[in-house]
Amino acid sequence: MCGIVAILEVGRAGSVSRGLLDRMAQAIAHRGPDEQGLWVEGPIGLAAQRLRVVDLATGQQPLANEDGSIRLVANGEIYNADALRRALLAGGHRFASRTDTEVILHAYEDDGPACLDRLEGMFAFALWDGPRRRLVLARDRFGEKPLYYARLPHAFLLASELKALLVHPDVSRELDSRALVHYLAHEYVPAPHAIFRAVRKLPPAHYMTVEADGTETIERYWTPPRPTGAAPSAPEAAEEVVGRLRRSVASRVLCDVPWGCLLSGGIDSSLVTALAAEASSAPVKTFAIGFDEPTYDERRYAAAASRRFGTEHHETVVRGEDAAGLLPEVARVFDEPFADASSLPAVLLSRLAREQVTVVLSGDGGDELFCGYPTQTAHRAAEAYRRLPRLARRAVAAAAERLPTSHRYMSFDFALRRFLRDAARPAVERHLRWMGSFPPEGQARLLAAEAQREARLADPYATAREAVAAWGPETASDVATALDLLFYLADDNLVQADRASMSVALEVRAPFLDRAVAEYALRLPAVLRRGLWRTKPLLRRAARSLLPAPIWRRPKHGFGVPTGAWLRGPLRQLAVELLEPGRLRRQGLFDPPYVSALLDRHLRGVANHRKELWTLLMFELWAGAYLGG
């Protein structure tokens, strides 16, 4: 695992500055504190900050092919490296190390960018093809590893994190107003956008080539499959899923450093832990985090799973009193505004795990592949709700508004109001509105006049509509799966997993995102993966022989954070200070009276605006770190 950086000088003579390249790499040294490597030759410079996980003795980056004409820096792990190495050796290649990363180099020599189809793993890399005077960059299929880039008049830059690009003196910090619109709508900035106008993100499952003269091309190399062929029975499918997941876990526990599992006590992480315990000759180290607010706390389920599998269990607790001091650190970790509140416990959980291990396995991807989110069943309810007479819908909505406000986990009043507000809309829009904070009409009230003019009323849902149309969904549940996989997983969950873990040089591996597991799941008829009113029926069936019944039977419990209560309690002062009208007026982005009204209603307990206020709070903390206020 590494942090990588590259500079390609375009259209002018001279050599890349080693000093600048070194400073950019040092900005992400937390990703790879074990060693640094730099290579500069004329207009191209590559650098890597390495975290040694496989082959602790050799494998220093940048790597070179046999004659030194091709150079590579890469972040991630290639899980089928042994099989690829054997094939490449049989083809006449010579290896200088045991590191998994070197197979990328030699596979590219044989196949060019088509080698991406042979790689199974998580990765982001930059490769300098000397004979063709071409820079090639690529990301893995689901987006586990990040890659930012910036085009300058005379240079092309790339890095694992945005903060490395900002070291370059010519990268502007001018806010991208359209990216701001996306952030306010989704609570994250989706690829290819980035919060600064000069920067972009390479989307998952894409590669990019940059020629010596600056010419660029971007191509998709993999598309998630759709259901095809005859469907197996549910028992057959469950057995196949377990078999594929078992092989995936076995490949992901192979490393030369201590490893463990993140264990929430839910089905996904418990399944991974069960299979990891099978593959390990020693007790597996497991890590959990909880809250002092009981309805949000899952530690008892994690402890039950730990006892079942005989793990060495470690846990910690997040308290609202600690959040005010930690949130500015979290905002700096993520580089862009990021309003998924679970980023705070994710950072703390990573710190806990890093005290014991260098690699952890997670349950990421299980919900997206096996219809695990409550929105799956909510879409079914919405289709029924849309068929009700208008007067009946109005009566239900009026009754919902009279419910008292609660800040418990997934409180009935909060969930019902959000459901009703958008249930009658088309599936793509209602899904994104349910998941996000400020829809277009909310942004029209929130954004100051100048900010609205700059954003030119960008449609935050347009890209998602196009992506879903290309997916070809047949039902609202299919729409939800497409959006969860292409956007929420890639731009929220995996961003969180990478930044939180790599802030302390912890490598997270996600067995559910193994290509064999994911493609099998996605080719199954949706009716096998989704339930009528219950989430993840197929995975629950698969888990019966491995997990205690209280775990596989329990309802979905997301990685929720009691932000609503915190904003009225230990975070009240921080919110009041950051959203103070004079401060917002000087900033010029948000309408102070509108924001004050949101905050006032929440603090008085007459409304639950936790999502909207958290989105604004995290933006202001990010602005303080990256815009100077």
580 vs 586: CA distance, rounded Å: 10
Q: Which residues of 9-27 are buried (b: 16+ CB within 10 A; e: fewer)?
A: bbeeeeebeeebbbebbbb
pTM of the model: 0.94
CB 581 within 8 A of CB 430: no
Q: What pLDDT shows up at residue 20?
A: 97
- Tens-place pLDDT, residues 592-601: 999 999 999 9
Q: Which two tokens stand for residue 507?
A: 């490598």
Distance of CA 398 to the CA centre of its chain: 37
Average pLDDT over residues 474-485: 90
Average pLDDT over residues 230-242: 93
Average pLDDT over residues 28-40: 96
Average pLDDT over residues 292-309: 89
- Tens-place pLDDT, residues 57-109: 788 999 999 999 999 999 999 999 999 999 999 999 999 888 899 999 999 99
Top pLDDT among 279 and 400 is at 279
Q: What pLDDT shows up at residue 388?
A: 76
CB 263 within 8 A of CB 306: yes
Average pLDDT over residues 303-331: 94
pLDDT band at 483 (very low <50, low <70, confident <90, very high): very high
Closest listed residue to residue 483, CA positions, set 434, 438, 533: 434
Angle between helices 476-483 and 462-471 (to 10 degrees): 120
Q: Which run of H or E residues covers position 544?
A: none
Q: What pLDDT shows up at residue 534?
A: 77
DSSP 8-state assignment for residue 292 = S
Closest listed residue to residue 522, CA positions, set 365, 363, 369, 366: 369
Q: Catalytic residues, which ones?
A: 2
Identify the weakest region by mean pLDDT among 484-498, 510-524, 526-540: 526-540
Q: What pLDDT shows up at residue 267?
A: 94
500 vs 598: CA distance, rounded Å: 29
Q: What pLDDT shows up at residue 561?
A: 87
As annotated, the residues of the chain forming the CATH 3.40.50.620 domain(s) are 234-371+484-553
As annotated, the residues of the chain forming the CATH 3.60.20.10 domain(s) are 2-220
Q: What pLDDT shows up at residue 462?
A: 93
Q: What pLDDT shows up at residue 405?
A: 67
Kindly report the CATH number that applies to the domain delimited by 2-220. 3.60.20.10
Distance of CA 508 to the CA centre of its chain: 12
Dihedrals phi, psi of 39, to nearest 5 degrees: -145, 130
- Tens-place pLDDT, residues 15-27: 999 999 999 999 9
In this model, does residue 322 exceed pLDDT 80?
yes
Kindly report the CATH number that applies to the domain delimited by 234-371+484-553. 3.40.50.620
CB 3 within 8 A of CB 29: yes
- Exposure on the CB side of residue 499, measured as CA atoms within 13 A: 27
Dmax over CA atoms of the chain, in Å, equals 76
Centre a 10 Å sphere on the Cβ of residue 399 and count the other Cβ atoms it contains: 11
Average pLDDT over residues 153-163: 97
Identify the weakest region by mean pLDDT among 387-396, 424-433, 577-586: 387-396
Q: What pLDDT shows up at residue 522?
A: 94
555 vs 86: CA distance, rounded Å: 45
Distance of CA 481 to the CA centre of its chain: 16
